[in-house]
């Protein structure tokens, strides 16, 4: 889908070179010219030195950018930053991208469309999606993955043809992908699972599978999922499953021995996505008149933990 020459390789930009950016970047590099913009100097150095590698496949060299302008000519721009960083990451691109450049977000949460359009304008061709692909970083640019997931995308301002072109790119790169007419139910389905698992994994410092093995933790996770599903129902969003807790347990089974990304954020002192996950359930619940006491408690606990970690980190040794 090269704009200027249909016979040339597409130009793909990725913002964020973490585990998911590395996984998708390696696959897309099979059929496109890939440039990754990464702010972490150590990660950037590793990407430049080693390229991208998934499991035991040969590494593939890609371009590594330090400035936004190196991605201005992208035909497609993928976001692989935390939802909390979307506005900051995209502001340098305002007014600089070709109006036909598709912005693809596979991020957590349900507020990414608004953040993208706040940064770039309401007419930007946005594609939102969810993926069950998983990746674990073993070194900068090197990840382990089952590569058995599925990516669903849908338009949030892009044409149907553009959405299909992005799905085709992913498929040609070796990733299973499909276009759905309405992506919102799938975004909310992912939110239900994230709200049930991510913060609990961080607070308890445990894997997703541990949550199921501990009856009290499992009951709490089920309550979190039920509240999120109730908010979706009040907003007239038809979730892609009948039983929220069964769906959550199915999701956990895929990555049972992994901690959530929020757990790693807490360990590293990074700002978490709590406001975009459980916090979004609470905020939208208030708007819809649905009580969400379990999610509100989790938000308060997570924010307290973040504040305590930050204070301890600031103390002199």
pLDDT, tens digit, 9 for 90 and up, residues 195-254 = 999 999 999 999 999 999 999 999 999 999 999 999 999 999 999 999 999 999 998 888
Q: How confident is the model at residue 3 (pLDDT cuts 50, 70, 90)?
A: low
Mean pLDDT of 292-310: 95
Question: Is the pLDDT assigned to residue 6 strictly greater than 70?
Answer: no
Mean pLDDT of 101-113: 96
Residues 6+ apart with CB under 8 A from 316: none
Share of the chain above pLDDT 90, in %: 85
Query: In angstroms, rounded to a whole number, what is the distance separating the alpha carbons of residues 186 and 237?
Result: 10
Q: How confident is the model at residue 315 (pLDDT cuts 50, 70, 90)?
A: very low
Mean pLDDT of 26-48: 95
pLDDT number for residue 2 = 59
Q: Tell me: the pLDDT tens digits for 123-146? A: 999 999 999 888 888 999 999 988
Nearest to 77 by CA among 107, 46, 40, 47: 107
pLDDT number for residue 316 = 42
Q: Tell me: the pLDDT tens digits for 157-205? A: 999 999 999 999 999 999 999 999 999 999 999 999 999 999 999 999 9
CA 34 remoteness from chain centre: 19
Q: Tell me: the pLDDT tens digits for 80-90? A: 999 999 999 99
Q: How confident is the model at residue 291 (pLDDT cuts 50, 70, 90)?
A: very high
Residue 82 appears among annotated catalytic residues: no
∠ CA 158-109-80, nearest 5°, is 65
Which of 190, 259, 271, 312 is flagged as catalytic?
A: 190
Domains of the chain and any CATH numbers: 11-179 (3.40.50.720), 184-311 (1.10.1040.10)
Do 295 and 195 touch, CB atoms closer than 8 A? yes
- Taking phi over 0 as left and psi of -120 to 50 as alpha, with beta for the rest, 236 belongs to left
Sign (positive/negative) of CA torsion 69, 72, 73, 78? positive
């Amino acid at each position: 889908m090269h704009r200027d020459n249909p016979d040339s390789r597409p130009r793909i930009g990725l913002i964020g070179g973490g585990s998911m950016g590395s996984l998708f970047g390696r696959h897309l590099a099979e059929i496109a010219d890939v440039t990754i913009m990464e702010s972490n100097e150590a990660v950037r150095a590793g990407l430049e030195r080693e390229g991208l590698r998934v499991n035991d496949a040969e590494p593939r060299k890609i371009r590594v950018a330090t400035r936004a302008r190196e991605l201005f000519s992208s035909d497609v721009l993928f976001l692989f930053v935390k939802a909390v960083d979307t506005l900051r990451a995209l502001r340098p691109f305002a007014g600089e991208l070709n109006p036909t450049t598709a912005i693809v977000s596979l991020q957590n949460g349900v507020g990414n469309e608004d953040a993208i359009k706040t940064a770039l304008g309401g007419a930007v061709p946005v594609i939102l999606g969810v993926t069950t692909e998983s990746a674990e970083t073993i070194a900068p640019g090197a990840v382990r993955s089952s590569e058995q997931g599925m990516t669903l995308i849908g338009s949030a301002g892009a044409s149907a043809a553009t959405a299909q072109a992005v799905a085709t790119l992913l498929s040609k790169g070796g990733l299973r992908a499909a276009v759905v007419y309405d992506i919102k139910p799938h975004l909310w389905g992912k939110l239900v699972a994230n709200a049930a698992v991510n913060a609990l994994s961080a607070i308890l410092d445990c894997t997703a599978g541990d949550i199921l093995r501990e009856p009290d933790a499992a009951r709490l996770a089920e309550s979190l999922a039920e509240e999120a599903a109730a908010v979706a129902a009040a907003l007239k969003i038809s979730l892609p499953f009948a039983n929220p807790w069964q769906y959550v347990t199915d999701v956990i089974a895929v990555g049972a021995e992994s901690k959530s990304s929020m757990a790693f954020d807490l360990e590293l002192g990074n700002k978490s996505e709590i406001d975009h996950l459980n916090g979004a359930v609470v905020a939208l619940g208030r708007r819809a008149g649905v009580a969400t006491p379990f999610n509100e408690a989790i938000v308060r606990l997570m924010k307290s933990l973040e504040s305590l970690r930050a204070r301890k980190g600031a103390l002199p040794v």
